Amino acid sequence: MVLREEDDAVSVLPRQFPTNRGGLCQKGWTAPELLSHPERLTTPLLRDPATGELRPATWEAALDRITTGLREVQEKHGRDAVAVFGGGGLTNEKAYALGRFARVALRTRHIDYNGRFCMSSAAAAGMRAFGVDRGLPFPLSDLGRADTLLLVGANPAETMPPLVRWLTEQRERGGKLIVIDPRVTATTRQADLHLQPLPGTDLAVASALLHIALTEGYVDGDYVATRTTGFTAVRRTVAGWWPARAEALSGVPVADLEETARALGTAERAIILTARGAEQHAKGVDTVTGFVNLALALGLPGRPGSGYGCLTGQGNGQGGREHGQKADQLPGYRKIDDLEARAHVARVWGVPADELPGPGVPAYQLLDSLGTDQGPRALLVFGSNPVVSAPRAARVEGRLRDLDLLVVADFLLSETAALADVVLPTAQWAEEDGTMTNLEGRVLRRRALRPPPSGVRTDLEILAALSARLRGTPSLRALPGDGPGSAPGTRPSEAAASDPQVVFTELRRASAGGIADYAGISWDRIDAADGVFWPCPDDEGPDSPRLFADRFATPDGLARFHPVEHRPAAEEVCADYPLHFTTGRVLAQYQSGTQTRRVAALRRAAPEAFVELHPDLAERLGVADGEPVRVLSRRGEFQAPARLSPGIRPDTVFAPFHWGGRARANSVTNDAVDPVSGMPEFKICAVRVEKA
């Protein structure tokens, strides 16, 4: 994307870049409208204790209120009584600084981020199979050359429109596109074959596909023997998943299962991609693992033009999970309970390793503990809106209201910011430098077009200012030097700590030797190319656009099979709640909608939430198209107009999650979580539908 500023207005121009080749979705083209939006925050807000209203305040007053509040909470309840919640849209520099701020300035173990609700199941599956989590271990352009491409729970035509160019190229080359999705979507309409399973049965489908691959001789025996371990246990597990059993459970016809297995097993180049539809379940890690097992059995990962990958969702969904804002993680994708990793990062930060806190808890567990006797009493939120995006959202909203101190940094008054005691106005994408890492592991530059409006600060400036104030507290450590030549333990100026290039230089040192090694990536090197792929440990050495050609990132270089078994959803339908409910996205809106719901063109394209029903179900309920309905679960309810569609299963109800208030779909979603990844079960719960 190329930006042009004329008469104080910003316009977006296409750029021929390898991933999108000049294409943007409607959200990208209209993004500049938000830079001068009348509802944009340009001054801090403090809640008046007398009236309960948010009122404009100075930065000094706001930062002093935060500092005083944090000190009081930690003095009364301990260090872990303060928590930090980040976002997958933060730049690499901000995600890194946020993790360092939590563990060094606050010395709390409680930090996590909204990416836990997005890619965590695929990340965990990738780590245990390959030893590394990178959305695509190959360039995106490989999709266009695949003979067979299987998308599982993905709808890129609405969620990642520029990627559709590669799907079009794949089909124009004669390739076969197969999509697994419970609904007919803009993506399934382009597919050669659409498998439409009952929500929550994707793992049964994966097991049946591997069963067929075994019985039909599609398994690559040489690859399995030389490049993997653990296949015998998986073979035993899938032996019982004959196609007819999978059809009875999922509703996917045996013929479609056989056609899919044949298309994958006979292709010279085949790629399997999973996304949120497969991952946002209480068994999401196992479901993704089922498709990873299939890919390994077919010999796809590391084979030219073939492989397994995950379609990463948020703007910096890949980089945002690499450098320390996850509960169990240090920069470079290191585990926080690894003694060697702690020692390395502590040296960079200039603190004793034994003073770094241990692992925290995943996002939903953190949010659900807020304001309780056992949980944090204060929360700082950067780049997230959990009041709309979290499962069982009414409960989370209540927890936020119970806090002693809630601080939100945002540029618009989101539903979460509206509850805060302090709101800090932050810079937008066109107003700050930094780096982002895309789903290929390609590190990219974000360049500031202009400074933020008067009264607005960047997240790095906010963290630097808070750190400087917290240094006066004897119980809190000072931040170390930020610059590449700083002595450990020295106190940086706020200017140095808020300079994104200085922060990135320290990030490089902190990540050196880790799984996501950025040590050889500099801003100059990124500028000289179309981004740089990690791992890149050496300034002079090559980067890594392709992984797994010779070995996997495991101690012995072998990929790991893991036996996994289908299990029912955490909540099954019953007489009181007889329908399956699933959530998703629409083309014109994004995430919790804080930004996109304020863009006029996007509001016109998608003005309100809806509840998608099959016409047969609507007839049984006596509901007409456009008529308001209520969707109720054991956790809550929401209301929106009915939208009748023959493209959804008659036993399933769908709604997008971009709206708050009475239309908040996450009021009903299940807060059961995956035991490995902490991913909540957004994609299936039991509901009933009534006329409003």
Determine, yes or no, domain membership for 484.
Answer: no
The CATH number assigned to the domain holding 370 equals 3.40.50.740
**Which string of DSSP letters, residue by residue, matches 436-497?**
EE-TTSEEEEE--SSPPPTT-B-HHHHHHHHHHHHTTSTTSPPP---STTPPTT----HHHH
Round to whole Å and give the CA distance between 390 and 367: 9
Determine, yes or no, domain membership for 235.
Answer: yes
The CATH number assigned to the domain holding 630 equals 2.40.40.20
Q: Point out which residues pair with 274 in neighbouring strands.
A: 152, 310
* Phi, psi angles (nearest 5°) of residue 354: -75, -5
Determine, yes or no, domain membership for 3.
Answer: no
Tell me the Cα Rg of the chain.
24
User: Are 355 and 256 within one domain?
Assistant: no
Round to whole Å and give the CA distance between 214 and 234: 11
Q: What's the pLDDT tens digit per position in 317-356?
A: 899 999 999 999 999 999 999 999 999 999 999 999 999 9
Determine, yes or no, domain membership for 564.
Answer: no
Round to whole Å and give the CA distance between 140 and 442: 10
- Assigned token pair, 319: 């980089």
**Which string of DSSP letters, residue by residue, matches 383-431?**
S--HHHHSSSHHHHHHHHHT-SEEEEEESS--TTGGG-SEEEEB--GGG
Determine, yes or no, domain membership for 563.
Answer: no
Within 6-107, residue ranges assigned H as helices are 26-30, 59-77, 92-100
The CATH number assigned to the domain holding 142 equals 3.40.228.10
User: Are 373 and 514 within one domain?
Assistant: yes
CA-angle at 36, arms to 32 and 37, nearest 5°: 95
Q: Point out which residues pair with 55 in neighbouring strands.
A: 46
- Assigned token pair, 256: 């479609």
Residue 556 burial by Cβ neighbours in a 10 Å radius (0-12, 13-18, 19+): exposed
Helix 231-238 with 284-297: angle, nearest 10 deg: 110
Q: Which long-range contacts (CB under 8 A, 24 or more apart) does 44-48 make?
A: 44/422, 44/423, 44/424, 44/425, 45/420, 45/422, 45/423, 46/421, 46/422, 47/420, 47/421, 47/422
User: Are 221 and 234 within one domain?
Assistant: yes
- Assigned token pair, 242: 């004959």
Round to whole Å and give the CA distance between 459 and 628: 41
User: Is the C-alpha dihedral spanning 426, 593, 443, 94 positive or negative?
Assistant: positive
Which of 98, 660, 135, 37 shows the shortest CA–CA distance to 438?
A: 135
Number of domains in the chain: 3
User: Are 457 and 341 within one domain?
Assistant: yes
In which residue are the tokens 């995943």 written? 362
Q: Point out which residues pair with 639 in neighbouring strands.
A: 630
CB atoms within 10 A of CB 429: 21
* Phi, psi angles (nearest 5°) of residue 312: -70, 140
Beta-carbon contacts of residue 370 (< 8 Å; ≥ 6 apart): 83, 376, 377, 379, 399, 400, 402, 403
Residue 8: predicted pLDDT: 64
Round to whole Å and give the CA distance between 595 and 589: 9
Mark which of 279, 311, 343 sits at the end of a domain: 311
Torsion of CA 199, 200, 204, 210, to 10 degrees: 80
Round to whole Å and give the CA distance between 478 and 490: 8
Round to whole Å and give the CA distance between 371 and 397: 11
User: Is the C-alpha dihedral spanning 367, 370, 373, 375 positive or negative?
Assistant: positive
User: Are 112 and 153 within one domain?
Assistant: no
Round to whole Å and give the CA distance between 643 and 640: 9
* Structural domain boundaries enclosing 683: 579-691
- Assigned token pair, 267: 């292709």
For residue 641, whether the previous peptide bond is cis, meaning omega lies within 30 degrees of 0, is: no
Chain centroid offset of residue 593 CA: 15
Residue 492: predicted pLDDT: 56
Round to whole Å and give the CA distance between 408 and 425: 9
Residue 15: predicted pLDDT: 82
**Which string of DSSP letters, residue by residue, matches 171-215?**
HHTT-EEEEE-SB--TTGGG-SEEE-PPTT-HHHHHHHHHHHHHH
Determine, yes or no, domain membership for 249.
Answer: yes
User: Are 644 and 523 within one domain?
Assistant: no
Beta-carbon contacts of residue 221 (< 8 Å; ≥ 6 apart): none
Beta-carbon contacts of residue 503 (< 8 Å; ≥ 6 apart): 93, 96, 97, 460, 482, 497
Q: Are 172 and 214 contacting, i.e. CB atoms less than 8 angstroms apart?
A: no
Which of 245, 259, 244 shows the shortest CA–CA distance to 179?
A: 259
User: Are 323 and 463 within one domain?
Assistant: yes
Q: What's the pLDDT tens digit per position in 127-172?
A: 999 999 999 999 999 999 999 999 999 999 999 999 999 999 999 9
User: Are 390 and 509 within one domain?
Assistant: yes
Determine, yes or no, domain membership for 149.
Answer: yes
Q: Are 673 and 364 contacting, i.e. CB atoms less than 8 angstroms apart?
A: yes
Beta-strand ranges (E) seen in 107-180 are: 111-113, 148-152, 176-180
Helix 243-250 with 254-265: angle, nearest 10 deg: 120
Round to whole Å and give the CA distance between 315 and 62: 29
Mark which of 311, 342, 363 sits at the end of a domain: 311
Report helix, strand or coil for 260: helix
- Assigned token pair, 586: 């629409």
User: Are 159 and 260 within one domain?
Assistant: yes
User: Are 529 and 637 within one domain?
Assistant: no
User: Are 322 and 458 within one domain?
Assistant: yes
Q: What region, left, alpha or beta, does residue 488 occupy, with left being phi > 0 and alpha being psi -120 to 50 degrees?
A: beta
Q: Point out which residues pair with 691 in neighbouring strands.
A: 629
Mark which of 311, 335, 364 sits at the end of a domain: 311
HSE-up (13 A, CA, CB side) for residue 93: 27
User: Are 600 and 528 within one domain?
Assistant: no
Within 239-325, residue ranges assigned H as helices are 243-250, 254-265, 276-279, 284-297
Determine, yes or no, domain membership for 506.
Answer: yes
Residue 29: predicted pLDDT: 85
CA-angle at 206, arms to 205 and 208, nearest 5°: 65
Which residue ranges in the chain fall short of pLDDT 50? Answer: 1, 473-490
